[in-house]
Structure 1
Amino acid sequence: MLMLSAVLGMFLMISSGNLLLFFLSLELATIPVAAMVNFDLEKKGASEAAMKMILSSAFSSGILLFGISLVYGITGTIIFAEMPALLDGSPLMIMAFVFLFTAFAFKLSIVPFHLWTADVYQGAPFATTSFLSVLSKGSVAFIFMATMYKAFQPMQEVWYNMIMLLSVVTMIVGNLFAMRQQNIKRFLAFSSIAQVGFILVGMSSNSDMGTASVVYFMLIYSFSNLAAFGVAAAIASQTGKEKIDDYKGLYQTNPFLSWVLALALFSLAGIPPTAGFFGKLFLITAGASKGNYLFITIAALNMIVSLYYYLKVVRAVFMDKNEQHVEKIIIHPSTRFALMICAAGIVLVGLLSWIYDYIETLS
Structure 2
Amino acid sequence: MNLSNYLLMKPELSLIAVFLLLIFYDLFASDNAKKYYFPIACLLFLVHTVYCFFISKDVLTAFGGMYVTGAAQITMKSVLNIGVFLIFLQANEWLKKPESIFKRGEFFMLTILTLLGMYLMISSGSFMIFYIGLEMASLPVAALVAFDKYKNNSAEAGAKYIFNAIFSSAIMVFGISFLYGACGTLYFDDMFQSIYSSPLIIMAMVFFLSGLFFKISLVPFHLWAPDVYQGAPTNVTLYLSTISKGAAVFALMIILYKVFPALAGIWQPIIWILILLTITIGNLFALRQKNLKRLLAFSSISQAGYIMLSVFSGSSAGMSATIFYVFVYVFSNLAAFGVISAIENKTGKVNMDDYNGLYLTNPKLALVMMVSMFSLGGIPFTAGFFSKLFVFMAAMESGNPWNTVLVFLALVNTVVSLYYYLLVVKAMFINKNDSPIETLNTDSYLKISLVASVVGIFCIGVINCFYEYINTVSFGF
Give the TM-score taking structure 1 as reference length: 0.99
Does structure 1 residue 257 correspond to structure 2 residue 365?
Answer: yes
Dislocated runs of 4+, deviation >3 Å: none
Distance 1:155 1:41 in 2: 44
Shift of 1:353: 2.2
How far off its partner does 1:165 sit? 0.6
Aligned residue among 53, 66, 78 for 2:161: 53
Is the aligned partner of 1:109 residue 2:217? Answer: yes
Contact 1:9 1:27 (8 Å CA) reproduced? yes
1:51-100 deviations in whole A, cap 9, x for unaligned?
A: 10000000000001001000000011111111111011101111000001
Are 1:24 and 2:135 counterparts? no
- 1:218-237 to 2 correspondences below 5 Å: 218-237=326-345
The equivalent residue for 1:326 is: 437
Q: Provide the residue aligned with 1:36 in structure 2.
A: 144
SS in 2 for 1:322: coil
Letter in 2 for 1:220: V
> What are structure 2's unaligned runs of at least 5 residues?
1-108
What letter is aligned with 2:229? Y
Contact 1:106–1:113, Cα closer than 8 Å, also in 2: yes
Q: How does 1:298-337 map to 2 (within 5 A)?
A: 298-337=409-448
- 2:211 matched to 1:100? no
- Asked if structure 1 preserves the Cα contact closer than 8 Å seen for 2:114 and 2:140, the reply is yes
1:352 aligned partner: 463
1:201 matched to which residue of 2? 309
| TM-superposed deviation, 1:322 | 0.7
Within 1, Cα distance between the matches of 2:454 and 2:406? 32
Of residues 172, 175, 184 in structure 2, which corresponds to 1:67? 175
CA root-mean-square deviation: 0.9
How far did 1:200 drift? 1.3
Letter aligned with residue 48 of structure 1: E
Q: Which amino acid aligns with 1:183?
A: N
| Alpha-carbon offset, residue 106 of structure 1 | 0.3
Question: Structure 2: which amino acid aligns with 1:8?
Answer: L
Indicate if the aligned counterparts of 2:292 and 2:351 stay in contact, CA closer than 8 A. Answer: yes
Q: Does 1:3 align with 2:111?
A: yes
Is 1:294 aligned to residue 294 of structure 2?
no
Question: What is the number of residues matched between the two proteins?
Answer: 363
Determine if the alignment matches structure 1 residue 120 to structure 2 residue 231. no
Q: What do residues 157-185 of structure 1 show as CA deviations (whole Å, max 9, x unaligned)? A: 11111111100000000000000001111
- The answer as to whether partners of 1:247 and 1:326 remain within 8 angstroms in 2 is yes
Residues in 2 aligned to 1:216 and 1:99: alpha-carbon distance in whole angstroms: 29
Question: Contact 2:196 / 2:263 at 8 angstroms: preserved in 1?
Answer: no
Q: Are the aligned partners of 1:36 and 1:128 in contact in 2 as well (CA < 8 Å)?
A: yes
- Inter-partner Cα distance in structure 2 for 1:34 and 1:191: 22
Secondary structure of 1:246's aligned partner: helix
Q: Indicate the structure (1 or 2) with the bigger Cα radius of gyration.
A: 2
* Deviation of 1:154 (Å): 1.3
1:20 to partner: Cα distance: 1.0
1:44, distance to aligned residue in structure 2 (A): 2.9
In 1: Cα distance, 2:332 partner to 2:151 partner: 26
For residues 304-352 of structure 1, what are the alpha-carbon distances to aligned partners after superposition, in whole Å with 9 as ceiling and x for unaligned? Answer: 1111000011111111111110011111011011100000000111111
Over the matched positions of the two proteins, sequence identity in percent amounts to 46
| Contact kept? 2:368, 2:450, Cα under 8 Å | yes
2:291 counterpart of 1:212:
no
The aligned residue for residue 281 of structure 1 is 389
Match of 2:269 among 133, 157, 161: 161
Which residue of structure 1 lines up, in the alignment, with residue 355 of structure 2? 247
Q: How far apart, CA to CA, are the structure 2 residues paired with 1:223 and 1:149? A: 28
1:24 Cα deviation after fit: 1.0
Opposite residue 357 of structure 1, the aligned amino acid is: E
Alignment check: 8 A CA contact 2:157 2:227 kept: yes
Asked whether the 8 Å contact 1:164–1:200 carries over to 2, the reply is no
Distance 2:256 2:372 in 1: 30
- Greater CA drift, 133-142 or 169-178: 133-142
